[in-house]
Each structure stands twice: as structure tokens, then as C-alpha cells.
Amino acid sequence: MWPQERPDLRARVLWASFYLILAKLLTVGVPYFYKWATDALDGDTSGLAWLPLVLTGAVTLVVAYNVARIVSVAFNQLRDALFASVGQYAVRRLAYKTFVHMHALSLRFHLERRTGGLSRIIERGTKGIETIVRFTILNSVPTLIEFLLTAVIFGVTYGIAYVLVVALTVIAYSVFTIRASDWRIHIRREMNDSDTEANTKAIDSLLNFETVKYFGNEAMEAERFDQSMARYENAATRTWTSLGWLNFGQGVIFSIGMGVAMVMSAREVMAGTQSLGDFVFINALLMQLSIPLNFIGFVYREIRQGLTDMEQMFDLLQVSEEVRDTPGAPALAVTAGTIRFEDVRFSYDSGREILKGISFEVPAGRSVAIVGPSGAGKSTISRLLFRFYDVSSGRITVDGQDIAAVRQDSLRGAIGIVPQDTVLFNDTIAYNIRYGRVDATDEEVRHAAELAQIHSFIESLPDGYRTTVGERGLKLSGGEKQRVAIARTILKAPPILVLDEATSALDTHTEQDIQSALSLVSAERTTLTIAHRLSTIIDADEILVLRAGQIVERGSHRTLLAANGLYAEMWAMQREATEAEEALRRAREADQLGVIERRAPADPLEPRR
């Protein structure tokens, strides 16, 4: 609310406070014009002797009453307009802080969370911040000022008895509002939980649209979503019903207090100690007081509900970063690009160790491949190299520098990756390629696409590089997405390259095309390849065979085949599978050719069957 970096906003806060006070002074002054006009109409102008005669007319006082109301509203709106940018800036800064914090959290956190639920939490939390900013500053403070001014007027003009009636009414009203609102909070939490659950299921279902269609489970997905919405419906209904009881109770309490004060004033009017204008003034002042008093209940409810909406977002802000830079950590200085794993041990959970004392080196400019059965810990090695997790023991170095002792941004800036599952942003092809280096020129983007052997394909599209790729890049084939990922990495031009099963999801023909592009990218770079298909790494300088988190074999392709161990067994199995796949492909092609030949008519005039 008082941003040190924005003197212009601090000035707005001061001006808004000035107009706030002016508006409240006018607000409590408005009923006086009503009182004087009533007395003038009743023929009693004894209380207006201090005014010039021209201003004591009933019509003049009625006009003054309405002008004062207009000016009061104008000051209130001017206050709100001045403060709007202050409040929105506060909302923006906290939302930005939350977004940055989400990206700073570990991969473990995001793997355990659901994107739909997180987006809903942040959305509600941001709205909750806006609610609290608006109501605490723009309503609570003005209401407090109006209460104090009203109490002073009643005490000085009509005596302490009226002050006590008003004070008891306000206290009873506030206590009832707080207790009733607290009772409603748990209902609001239930509604939020149901809303988050429904949104999570909806987003999960839409992200997996093809899977839903494959298995024909549209009805099941709709039923799951409807069950969550039914719980939301029930909680929302209870929320609105409880609000009705709250408003009714507030109305009863204030009406009783107002009735007592009006009876006291009526008795004094009949006794001649007050004028008819005093009776009207007390009624008008109390009616005017009911507006901010009702806001107190509304503000309390909104603030409590805003805090409830913000609870989970604040919980996110309280989640500590699992991987942190040490204070004053230097940037990674890559001179050659040598990678070393020194007796590295790691486990995702305490009861299951994934890597068990892994040690190897990838010399500068050389290529090392890691192979092994599923679950051996291959992809974990790439995640540790990127420092998505910190090792349990041992260390990983780049050119002799422990990656745990350097800045994460500099480490990741030195490493490029072509992953198995290339997920693209729902933007243009140019945007996705330029993501490797955001300041790259259009010409550099095109050159990277040419090296990745995808430029011709992009140029053949109607919108070229401005073609959008769809959610997660689903408008492109697997091979096309991989080429975009390769172009992105070429544009980044990192000294170290990680190929994480980059072709395992592709067919043999596409794999061969992609492999030639990968060979171009990895030339003269320190390359760590995590492979599923052994045919892609036969030229690696060294191959590490991983099983159950340990290196069980190491050497060149020829050496490992000669050893007749696990690698040779995996090679034989994959070779058989590849030959079977190739035989099936040829059989299909031959069958299709035979069908075409049988369908071809001997006589050009003979109709086709």
C-alpha cells in the first residue's frame, strides 16, 4: 500500500486520504441541512440565527442538502479513482511474486501437484488479495472515521444516552456479524475445495481429450465432473442460505437500536426539549450510519472469505524451495565442458535409493551414452545434471566446479536438451524455436530450423513460421515436434548437450531422419545421451549400462557386444524387434502393391472392381 519504488503511487495514497476525510466530514454534515430544512418548513428558524437570512429559506436548505450529497459522492469517487492504481499495483506485485515462487519450486513439487488445481488456487488467491485491498483501505478506515464523528455529534448535541444506544447497537451488530461469518467460513472452504476438485478434473480431462475418445469414456468423465459440481452446488447453496440468515439478523439488531433512539427522540419532541428537525436529524444520521455499518459486516465477510480464498495461495508461498543457490554463489564458468559424476547417490523417497554410487566422466567434446532397462535411473541422471534435485551424496562437476555451488541459471544456460516428450507452447512455431534464445533474430531462427531440417516443412505451411502449434504442440507430428526441439537447442548453442531418449517415441524411418539432425547438433559438443534404442548410440565414445541404479557395464559398442552381457542381450532383443517391424512393413507394402495390381483393369475400357 506504500510502495517505496513508486513515489507517484505514494502521492496518490496521500491525496486519496485527503479526499476521504473531506467526504466523511460532508457525509456527517448532510443530515444537518435536512434538520434545518425540516425546522424551516415547521416555522422554527430559531436554530438558524447564525446563518444569513437569505440562506434560511426551506427551499434553499433543501437545495443545499442535495448539493452536499452530490459533493460527498464526488469526493468518495475521486478517492476510489486515486486509490485504484495503488490497489491494483499491490495485487500485481503479489501475483507476480507467487508466479515467480511457483517456478522456483522443485520438480518434485510440480510432479505431485495438479496444474488445474494450482491455477484455480492462484486465480482465487489473486481475487482475494484484490478484495482485501479494496475493503480494508476503501471501506474500513472511512467507516471508522464516520463512527467517531457520529459519536461526537450525538454526545455533544443530545447527550451520553444516545451515544450508549448507538454504541450498544454497533457492538451487538459487530459481534453477531463476526460470529455468524466465522460459522460460514467452513462452508466457504468446502465450496472452494469442491470448486478446485471440479476444475482439476475438467482440465485433466480436456488435456487428455484423445485418451478419453480412444476409450469412449466421455460419459464417465462427465459423471466424475458432475459429482464434483454437485458437491460445489450443495456447498454454494448453504453459503447463500447462511448469508440470508446473516443479513436478517443484522437487520433485526440495527432496527431495534434505531427504534430505541427514535422513541427517545419522539418523547423529547413531545416534551418540547427537541424540535421536529432534531427528530428528523437523528433518524437521518442513523440511517446514514446504517450504510457504513452494513459495510462493516460486508467488509468483514469479504475479508474473511478473501483470506479463505488466499489460504492455499499463502500455503504455496510458504513452501520452501528444495533446490537453492548458496548465498553469493558464482556463475558456472564453462571452459571445456567436462562432466563428472563422483560416487553420486540419490533417492526420491527415503525408502528407495535410485542411484547407488554412480561415477563416470564425459570428457570435453566427447559423447557418452547411458542405456539400461526401464527404472534403472537413466532419466534421473539428466535431472540431477540440470539440478532439478540435489544429490543425496557425492557430487556432480562441470569443469571441476560442483554444480551445487554455482547459480542454477548459469548451469542450465550452459546445457541444452532434446527430451523424449517435447511439449511445445500453444503459440507460433517461431516462438517455440526462439524459446531457446529469446533475443534471436528471425534470420537466426530460420537458420536453426534449416540445420534441424524442418525449414522446408515450415515454409510449406500457409502461415509459415507464424503457424500456431496448438495445446502442447498437438498440431504437429512427433517427428516435427522433435525437429522444433532440435532447432530450439541449436539456437541456444550450449557447450553441453543432453539427449534424453530423443527418438524413442518415433518410428524407425523418422528416427533415422532425426538422428542425422542430432548428429549435427552434438558435433564438437560434450554430449550425454540417454538412449532407449541402442542403434542410435553405436558411435558413442563410451556406453554406460545401468541396472538398478548401478553401472554394470561400460565400454564401446564393439567391446560391450564382445562381453556378451546385459548390453549384448538388449542389442539382440532390439535387433529382433526391429527386423520384425521391418518385415511387417515390407509385407504391408507388398500387400498394398498386390491390391493395386489386382484392381488395375486389363482393358482401359473395362470398369474397375
| 594 in a structural domain | no
- Same structural domain, 521 and 380: yes
Task: Among 468, 493, 518, give the residue marking a domain's end.
Answer: 493
Confidence check: pLDDT of 427 > 80? yes
| 582 in a structural domain | no
| 580 in a structural domain | no
Confidence check: pLDDT of 26 > 50? yes
Residues of the domain holding 442: 416-493
Return the pLDDT at 206. Answer: 84
- Spatial separation of the C-alpha atoms in residues 172 and 297, rounded to whole Å: 12
Say what the pTM is.
0.66
- Same structural domain, 541 and 482: no
Of residues 496 and 479, more confidence is placed in 496
What does DSSP assign to residue 137? I
- Same structural domain, 92 and 168: yes
Task: Give the percent of the chain with pLDDT over 90.
Answer: 31
- Same structural domain, 384 and 407: yes
- Spatial separation of the C-alpha atoms in residues 411 and 532, rounded to whole Å: 26
- Same structural domain, 124 and 33: yes
C-alpha cell at 286: 442513523
pLDDT tens-digit readout, 538-573: 889 999 999 999 999 999 999 999 999 999 999 998
Domain with residue 156: its CATH number is 1.20.1560.10
| 326 in a structural domain | no
How many structural domains are present in the chain? Answer: 3
Confidence of residue 300 (pLDDT cuts 50, 70, 90): confident
- Same structural domain, 455 and 522: no
| DSSP track, 191-257 | HHHHHHHHHHHHHHHHHTHHHHHHHT-HHHHHHHHHHHHHHHHHHHHHHHHHHHHHHHHHHHHHHHH
| 588 in a structural domain | no
Confidence of residue 50 (pLDDT cuts 50, 70, 90): low
Confidence of residue 604 (pLDDT cuts 50, 70, 90): very low
- Same structural domain, 404 and 431: no
**Which has the minimum average pLDDT: 182-191, 334-343, 547-556?**
182-191
| 281 in a structural domain | yes
pLDDT tens-digit readout, 378-400: 889 999 999 999 999 999 999 99
Mean pLDDT along residues 475-494: 88
- Same structural domain, 395 and 543: yes
| 591 in a structural domain | no
- Of 230-239, 243-252, 410-419, the range with the highest mean pLDDT is 410-419
Return the pLDDT at 503. Answer: 66
| 609 in a structural domain | no
Confidence of residue 67 (pLDDT cuts 50, 70, 90): very high
Confidence of residue 608 (pLDDT cuts 50, 70, 90): very low
Arithmetic mean of pLDDT over the chain: 84
Task: Among 259, 294, 318, give the residue marking a domain's end.
Answer: 318
Confidence check: pLDDT of 372 > 50? yes
Please list, residue by residue across 468-506, b when 16 or more beta carbons sit within 10 angstroms of its beta carbon and e when fewer do: bbeeebebbebbbbbbbbbbbbbbbebbbbbbbbbbebb
Kindly list the distances between the CA atom of residue 279 and the CA atoms of 5, 62, 268, 271, 360, in Å, as whole numbers in the listed order.
Answer: 52, 17, 9, 12, 93
- Same structural domain, 284 and 369: no
- Same structural domain, 500 and 489: no
Task: Among 263, 291, 318, give the residue marking a domain's end.
Answer: 318
- Same structural domain, 502 and 489: no
pLDDT tens-digit readout, 492-503: 989 999 988 766
Domain with residue 502: its CATH number is 3.40.50.300
pLDDT tens-digit readout, 237-279: 888 888 888 888 888 998 999 999 999 999 999 998 898 889 9
Confidence check: pLDDT of 595 > 60? no
- Same structural domain, 138 and 49: yes
